[in-house]
Amino acid sequence: MRGRILVVDDDAAIREVVRLNLEAEGYDVTSAESVERARAAFSGGRFDMAILDVMLPDGDGFELARALRESSDLPIMMLSARDTDVDKAVGLGVGADDYLTKPFSPLELVARVKAHLRRYTATAPHGSVAHGQLLEAGPIAIDVLRRSVAVRGVNVELTATEFDILRMLVEQPMRVFTKAQIYERVWGTESFGDLSTVQVHVRRLRTKIEEHPEEPRLVTTVWGIGYRFEGGS
């Protein structure tokens, strides 16, 4: 068994498609059609990942994601027909790691699941690290092994995805990364053309590390290309 995945969706056909495709890859899948059933399943066992619909008959998938995040760091993917940037920002803001819109390709879903589980089960640090286990650039200090970040001496709480994006940029300051490159390196799979997820994560990262997020000086935008870490002044 490659991992246990909780799939929550009120559409039986979607639950079945997701279950069949994931089980074909060796995953153990538990399905739930409501917030109540999802909470019961989660309290009754350990899962390695959750895939959550946004609109459920007895509640909001965003709130369910928030509740799961409070008690677990497992990867959470939102699965929804609501595809605006606002919806994605809300989903990622409550702690989800990814947001896949319906209709979706089962192959894409499986690829993203594999990528998330590779990231969260990996124990060895990746990439080159300055000063052994500590990265320092401008006001940013990153403890790689503890996966902690301090900005101007103050610890900040980042999600796993925000941490990985910041670390990648800090490791190669002034290098411009396209959104596709960030997605492929951080998520470990192709973006399949959906790059707004990267934009939302960068926006939220800026609210946590920039003095003035609306005028970023650390993680800056190179218009028409992507992002780079400048280090501030």
Check residue 125 and give its pLDDT: 42
* Predicted pLDDT of residue 232: 56
Residue 130 contacts residue 124 (beta carbons within 8 Å): no
- Provide, for the chain, the percentages of residues in helix, strand and coil under a 3-state DSSP scheme, each rounded to the nearest 5: 40, 25, 35
Q: How many CA atoms lie within 13 A of 230 on its CB side?
A: 13
Query: Rounded to an integer, what distance in angstroms lies between the CA atom of residue 39 and that of residue 206?
Result: 32
Phi, psi dihedrals of residue 34, rounded to the nearest 5°: -155, 165
Are the CB atoms for 63 and 39 separated by under 8 Å?
no
CA distances from 161 to 36, 131, 154 (A): 28, 23, 20
| pLDDT tens, residue order, the chain (233 aa) | 689 999 999 999 999 999 999 999 999 999 999 999 999 999 888 899 999 999 999 998 999 999 998 888 889 999 988 877 778 878 888 888 888 889 899 998 999 899 888 877 763 344 444 444 788 899 999 998 888 999 999 999 888 888 999 999 999 999 999 999 998 888 877 766 567 888 888 998 999 999 999 999 999 999 989 999 997 54
Bridge-based pairing of strands 98-101 and 134-137 is unpaired
Q: What's this model's pTM, rounded to 2 decimal places?
A: 0.73
> Which segments of the chain belong to CATH 1.10.10.10?
134-229
Q: What is the pLDDT of residue 191?
A: 64
Give the residues across from 219 on adjacent strands. Answer: 229
CATH topology of domain 134-229: Arc Repressor Mutant, subunit A (1.10.10)
21-35 b/e (C-beta count within 10 Å ≥ 16 → b): bbeeeebebbbbbbb
pLDDT of residue 182: 93
Written out in words, the top-level CATH class of the domain with range 4-121 is alpha beta
**Rounded Cα–Cα distance for residues 94 and 99 (Å):** 12
Question: How confident is the model at residue 194, as a pLDDT?
Answer: 67
pLDDT number for residue 44: 85
Give the closest residue to 178 by CA, choosing from 205, 160, 163, 198: 198
Residue 157: Cβ within 10 Å count: 9
Cα four-point dihedral sign 12, 14, 196, 93: positive
Residue type, 11: D
Q: Which helix (H) or strand (E) holds 76?
A: strand 76-80
Q: Where does CATH 3.40.50.2300 sit in the chain?
A: 4-121
Query: Crossing angle for the helix pair 85-93 and 61-71, nearest 10 degrees?
Result: 30
- Give the pLDDT of residue 122: 61
Q: What is the pLDDT of residue 128?
A: 40
Q: What is the DSSP letter of 34?
A: S
